[in-house]
Structure 1
């Protein structure tokens, strides 16, 4: 981990130098050693490794470098919560997560918040990525939470991106299921760690930091730029032995994560959904292309060749607790796919008032969910 202001400043200077990306920086590190030695070279020596324009930029100091160095050092020295540590690890550091070293484009610097002592022991075999739609169906959100809870309980660390929807449910489920002393979950974000994005996950981020890690390759102050999120997805895939896609539309960013997992030689798994759900079409496309279809947490453990300490847990299925035959009948009429009020009324033959009253009862008991467009969907079945 970075231990002095001088070391931090040199790494920040390298990462901020205009025109010098990760690939060129790695060439410089291989040729000259740590950043302080790079900046001790003559322009002529630098031009033996990088372009003339890059060498010229390296001879100067980037805009904002001094202030950012001071702010980052202050961030490292102070955490409002003593149980939550701040750290910066650099490429080649002994604490740098080993799974990322095998990536084609590992970040030069990795900012960490939370249980940072676990960084050096992170292994891909320990981690499973879970990703999916920011606008999931109620069943998809329940699946993410329950799969994560069960898999974390079996000893896996759940890796995701702290986004709304499936990501948030996966982090939450992992925190619910992980043993007390285990590293429950890792959130890889697309902003600086001095902010939480989205804001709705501020409380969730604090819980993750208490029992897991929040990681970013972006310096403090970095806003949530659109280009950051597809790039950070490679880290989610790279940290994990496999990526489980819970729900995804055909144009979802989750498919980018799946593609990057395949490019890194990782496995991809997907949960099937309704043929009528747009959020399931990305998962179905992955399955057609060879992704492993999983219906339970046990399927995941078997695919990863891990022991299952529990009995099989099906697709986050919520046990029905209907108090009357009418509720059971209505659940049977709803079936397994989203259905509208008119179609449902035609199936069961009830009056509008009776149907709406029973739907409300089932919704309040958590057995069905209300979807956009006036549709209803079961959140479990027996």
Structure 2
């Protein structure tokens, strides 16, 4: 059983300036545990390969520097999972820069459950949001845990999809778990704690800084059997997650999009580099079946995005609906162009587009532009 002093030692060593993941693990191999490191002599630390600066930083460290973390751990459902803990996730332990410890708010048992990462743009199209939500919900319904980064856009929709039918989800954050970033996801974070877990390698009090977000991505991919990129520009943090997944020997999946959509270019790049092109959740489950016992998962039948193509407006014929969908295609198109292509009036079009959007057949891209996503 891990003692309070032992946990303090893990935190205290982790908080020492200049001691990162690689150095921490090197010290564990040399001394066995953080308590022994903190009690080591200057000469012993130097023999372990530390610089003068690192050695002095350890020698001057105090257990009191873990006070905020220990107070946080006193609260309900707050946990610290160390690299020596049996609850430490097996897949994450395999990566080259595994975090020495994990702060967890929520269910620690999920850490070793089969997980699928879903990541993507912070500013997705509506169809991207829909895809993230529906894929998240489908995976959660199978029994997979959906893992993402709590960010705006695709991440948030993936979490929401998993939560929709009481599924499990893990959010890996780039801050200390005493704060929520972005603040607008505070309520979502509370829901995640109820049905899953918030996870971070960062000590309590860590603010959101640019360098922590790419580091966070290696944990998202490291926890997961594979990573699905829904929408991403060519220069995107989501591609960093995919790169980490490749380095870690994990599968990478990508959803293609319109050649005119800038947020599809990152996914197309990944597909050219060997990521699996995904059209349905079954495309992902086929590859995961080699790593998990698929028969133990409840794989629901996949449905289309909408609720059928019946029109609720009796003044509009099914022929009009069919003509409108055919005119739209799957690239963004404006109402003005649809008027020219269909011969329908702007008033009739606006009514039909609203109904079709509610049915999930199309998505609004803003500024009077629409995209067909089903039907």
Q: Is the pair's TM-score, using the shorter chain for normalization, greater than 0.5?
A: yes
Q: How far, CA to CA, are the matches of 1:230 and 1:317 in structure 2?
A: 35
Contact kept, 8 Å, 1:114 with 1:212, in 2: the verdict is yes
How far is 1:105 from its partner? 0.5
Query: Could you tell me which residue of structure 2 aligns to residue 137 of structure 1?
Result: 125
Q: CA-to-partner distance for each residue in 1:129-157, whole Å, 9 max, x for gaps?
A: 11111111111111111111112111211
Query: Could you tell me which residue of structure 2 aligns to residue 56 of structure 1?
Result: 56
Partner of 1:47: helix, strand, or coil?
A: helix
2:330 maps to which of 336, 339, 363: 336
Partner of 1:57: helix, strand, or coil?
A: helix
2:107 maps to which of 108, 115, 119: 115
Partner of 2:123: helix, strand, or coil?
A: coil
Q: CA-to-partner distance for each residue in 1:292-318, whole Å, 9 max, x for gaps?
A: 111111111112123574465267455
Query: Could you tell me which residue of structure 1 aligns to residue 93 of structure 2?
Result: 101
Q: CA-to-partner distance for each residue in 1:272-308, whole Å, 9 max, x for gaps?
A: 1112111111111111111111111111111212357
Query: Could you tell me which residue of structure 1 aligns to residue 160 of structure 2?
Result: 172
Unaligned runs of 5+ in 2: none
Pair 151,360 (structure 1): closer, same or farther in 2 beyond 3 Å: closer
Partner of 2:47: helix, strand, or coil?
A: coil
* TM-score using structure 2 length: 0.90
How far is 1:109 from its partner? 1.8
- Counterparts in 2 of 1:174-253, with a 5 A limit? 174-177=162-165, 184-253=168-237
Query: Could you tell me which residue of structure 1 aligns to residue 75 of structure 2?
Result: 78
Q: How far, CA to CA, are the matches of 2:300 and 2:35 in structure 1?
A: 55
Determine if the alignment matches structure 1 residue 322 to structure 2 residue 306: no
How far is 1:193 from its partner? 0.6
Q: CA RMSD in A?
A: 2.1
Query: Could you tell me which residue of structure 2 aligns to residue 44 of structure 1?
Result: 43
Partner of 1:276: helix, strand, or coil?
A: coil
Partner of 1:244: helix, strand, or coil?
A: strand
The 10-residue stretch of structure 1 (22-31 or 367-376) with the greater mean CA deviation from structure 2 = 367-376
Determine if the alignment matches structure 1 residue 151 to structure 2 residue 144: no
Pair 316,264 (structure 1): closer, same or farther in 2 beyond 3 Å: farther
Pair 304,366 (structure 1): closer, same or farther in 2 beyond 3 Å: closer
How far is 1:262 from its partner? 0.4
Q: How far, CA to CA, are the matches of 2:304 and 2:223 in structure 1?
A: 25
How many residues align? The count is 364
Pair 219,312 (structure 1): closer, same or farther in 2 beyond 3 Å: same
Unaligned runs of 5+ in 1: 80-84
Contact kept, 8 Å, 2:246 with 2:252, in 1: the verdict is yes
Query: Could you tell me which residue of structure 2 aligns to residue 82 of structure 1?
Result: none
Determine if the alignment matches structure 1 residue 8 to structure 2 residue 7: yes
Q: How far, CA to CA, are the matches of 1:317 and 1:243 in structure 2?
A: 25
Q: How far, CA to CA, are the matches of 1:381 and 1:318 in structure 2?
A: 10
Pair 8,291 (structure 1): closer, same or farther in 2 beyond 3 Å: same
Contact kept, 8 Å, 1:318 with 1:381, in 2: the verdict is no
How far is 1:332 from its partner? 2.6
Query: Could you tell me which residue of structure 2 aligns to residue 260 of structure 1?
Result: 244
Partner of 1:250: helix, strand, or coil?
A: coil
Q: How far, CA to CA, are the matches of 1:2 and 1:315 in structure 2?
A: 49
How far is 1:353 from its partner? 3.7
Q: How far, CA to CA, are the matches of 1:318 and 1:198 in structure 2?
A: 33
Partner of 2:80: helix, strand, or coil?
A: strand
* TM-score using structure 1 length: 0.89
